[in-house]
Structure 1
Amino acid sequence: MTVTWRHLPAPAREIAVAATAAVEAAQARDSAAYDGAVPRLAGADRAGLVLGGVVRLLLEQAHPDGLDSDDVRQVLERCVRAAATWRPDVDPHVVLVLLAGALGVYDPGDDDTPPAPAAVAAHVPLLVVDLLAVTGVPFAGCLEAAFAEVARTERHDD
């Protein structure tokens, strides 16, 4: 079933379309499609926030009792190893930053520069695909839930 995302406002729809294209390309391990989808995802305003929510939701599904450092290491290793079979440019540090950011524990401090939006866009679909495979949760449902969480947070911040 193809989701059209017509019910979303234009900025959210752009995130949904770009993210879906990147995730589907990653699931198919289609490098050409992935290389075409990632720049669109990188250009979608607030995509990182929404996809961080997707990663957090998937981590909660995969680890309902919480994550410890061994769980994080296992997710990182599994994701990087799987992605490296078709994306030799996968950067474990970027995946680790994405995991830490989704868990709310990433602090770049003085010694670390956050990954560029292009690097985030190139890596977050790889992490999402890994977690989707583990949880069996449909991507569209996770994306909808992440949009709802962002909207809820924005309403409470106003």
Structure 2
Amino acid sequence: MSVTWRHLPAPAREIASAAQDAVAAAQARDAGAYEPAVARLAAADRSGLVLGAVVRLLLEQTNPDGLDGDDVRRVLEGCVRSAAQWWPDVDPHVLLVLLASALGVYEPADDENPPGPVAVAGHGPLLVADLLAVTGRPLAGYLEAAFAEVARTELHD
């Protein structure tokens, strides 16, 4: 299914399109298609915020009773194992930071540099693809919900 995202402003449209392409490439384990989609996603301002909201929504849906350390470990290990087979640049630490950030529990230490836009763009779609495999649902609905959540948060801040 192809979604045009015409109803979104241009910056959000680019995030949605790039996210769809990156997640589709991750689902297909296609490194050749993944790299340019990740580059587009990294160049899109606020894409990490949207991907984080998608990851959080997926985590909530796949773990309706809440998450504990074992659940986070399971998600992390599954994603690393799956991605490492086709994308050698996967970094478990970046995935862990993204998971913790999506859950609102990540506070970088004073001497720590959090992952930048390229690392977030390169790893967020891996998490999304893995979590989508559990739900069996398409990305579009989660992106719509993530954009709505980001807009609502920005409106109230």
TM beyond 0.5: yes
Deviation at 1:74?
0.6
The alignment partner of 1:110 has SS state of coil
- % identity of equivalent residues: 77
Give unpaired runs (5+ residues) of structure 2.
Answer: none
TM-score after normalising by structure 2: 0.97
Aligned residues: 157
Give unpaired runs (5+ residues) of structure 1.
Answer: none
State the match for 1:21 in structure 2.
Answer: 21
1:20-71 CA-to-partner distances (Å, cap 9, x unmatched) read 1111111111111101111100000000001100000000000011100110
The alignment partner of 1:89 has SS state of coil
User: Residues 119-158 of structure 1 correspond to what in structure 2 (within 5 A)?
Assistant: 119-157=119-157
Amino acid aligned to 2:138: P
Amino acid aligned to 1:22: A
1:46-100 CA-to-partner distances (Å, cap 9, x unmatched) read 0000110000000000001110011001100000000001012100000000000
What is the aligned-residue RMSD (CA, Å)?
A: 0.8
Deviation at 1:137?
2.4
Which ranges of 4 or more aligned residues in structure 1 deviate by more than 2 Å?
none
Deviation at 1:111?
3.8
Query: Residues of 2 paired with 1:145 and 1:137: CA distance?
Result: 13
Query: Residues of 2 paired with 1:107 and 1:151: CA distance?
Result: 23
Query: Residues of 1 paired with 2:60 and 2:31: CA distance?
Result: 29
